[in-house]
A and B are shown apart, each in its own frame.
Chain A
Amino acid sequence: MGSLIVLIILIALALYAVSIYNRIVTYEKRYQNAWSQIDVQLKRRADLVPNLVETVKGYAAHEQQVFEEVARSRQAMMNAQSVNQSAEAANMMSAALGRLFAIAENYPQLRANENFLLLQEELSGVENKIAYARQFYNDAVMQYNTLIETVPAVFLAGPMGKQPAVFLQIPEGDREVPQVSFSAPSGAPEA
């Protein structure tokens, strides 16, 4: 009788451990998926950049410095191997694009260019999605870290070799207003 009770308790404990294990894995997958969502948007932005640079060059060919800056950030984006490198390159690109659009403000003809307006809206849309995806990622990381650092999951996370994930830094002033969006919503309906 006594051994039966011990057995039942052991089985219950094992089931409990399995459920905690599953929870840790689920939360881990969750933040990793969240990263892939950011990655999709970063790639989309990198794809839009050459087109934008070409358009701006047509009106402001002598602004070499900013073009180089954008090209460098794109190169860094392409070469990024880890989440941290990607995030760093992404911040570089946000800054470079912000400057590019600021310069574009000085060229009224450029700002009237339909292709430019389209790219501007697309890019500020992507920029916005990156900001939300990053917020989502950080939330998922926080849930994961909280889980593996608190009782009871902490007892399993150690042996499983789980380390806390790293938050993505939000560049200053980036979240409040997407850098490339200007006052008048360019994509607002004409009708």
Chain B
Amino acid sequence: MIYLPHTHEDIFSMLQVLGVDNLDDLFSTVPEDCRFNGHLNLPEALSEWELNDHMSTLSHTMAVSPEYKVFLGAGSYEHFIPASVSYLLGRSEFVTSYTPYQPEMSQGTLQAIYEYQTLAARLLGMEVATASHYDGATALAEALLMAVRITKRKKIAISSLIHPLYRRVVQTYFNPTGYEVVELPYLNTGATDATGLDEMDDLAAVAIQSPNFFGCIENLQALGQKTHDTKALFVVSFTEALAYGLLKNPGSQGADIVGGEGQSLGIPRSFGGPALGMLASGKKHMRSLPGRLVGKTKDLDGKTGFVLTLATREQHIRREKATSNICTNNSLCALAAAMYMASVGGTGIRKLARLNYDKAEYLKKELKKAGFAIPFDRPTFNEFVVEFPSGFEATHKHLLEKNIIAGLCLAPFYPELANHYLLCVTETRSKNDMDALVREVKS
């Protein structure tokens, strides 16, 4: 087997050194009644060439670009990834190295992640960003737990326009804690209804997503103000990181902690994972942050170098009192995001984000012209909700056969919104794609 270099001679001579006769004897400390003496019932080994065929067959069943025009966002976005990023990400020194606990031989990872932390902080308008979490949902859950730790209060309010699956994850994390989670309803404008906050004075945090699940841009400044009036921390989440290439970032709007998804930044959708949880806060809360942090320092010769720092927050030192249990994070995804942000650049990201916005606006306009209702009038970024006529389900299904996925049906998540669909347009959808979609839904 090509990944097992030992020859018979190697094994024989090593067993001799150990004074045992065969490999089985090495397991003498495993009691007989713990031993499994059968054969594992798994498929026989494939050659590399058979594996290629097998996986190729599986992958060809998947509905992806360019054969399919997928107008789906909802937490996972199709964006162009430069060849340079994919190429650099294949460097095995990045791919096959471990967490940089031995900094002298990991300066590549450490500088790269320090750069990621910096760019992430700048994107979100915050002072400190961590080295990554699993995804936007867990980053949000960690942000809320962090707020509870800081304020020592036991209740949080989350907008019902936060991604439904993110809310589910937050509930799952909060279930055993005994902390209370209340949901804020939404207005018919497509924004969060925060009037209920007036009655709440015992909140650790208020969490708002912007752009929200309907694609609408929330009035973060006003919501932040209202949150701070209750003495709670303002937690802002997001699923489409590219939005902040154009829109006012959460930090500038009063966010205390930000926890969202960075998949749009150079990471392929990959059926939902691995993703990139982005978490950021102000310096004053730095020691309450969960997850790894890279810091800049100097070596014995005075040269600049980077190390993991503030490790006393983490599980390997603080154990049950750690700020989180996280050990392995999504470092390579953070690296991809840094490479992407470096490639797109400050000038480029504004243009790219603007292109996303304009394309989505075009589709919105065309659908309006074709007689379909746009129920929410809050401005949107690259996703928006359309209300199709009753019975659209059949049309949606029919369009699948034409290789068009016309948005995500909202009814399973918001039963009151029958026939409402969430459509997403990024820079990857052409005007022709959109015209074809409009043509098809009209007929």
* Chains A and B belong together in one complex: no
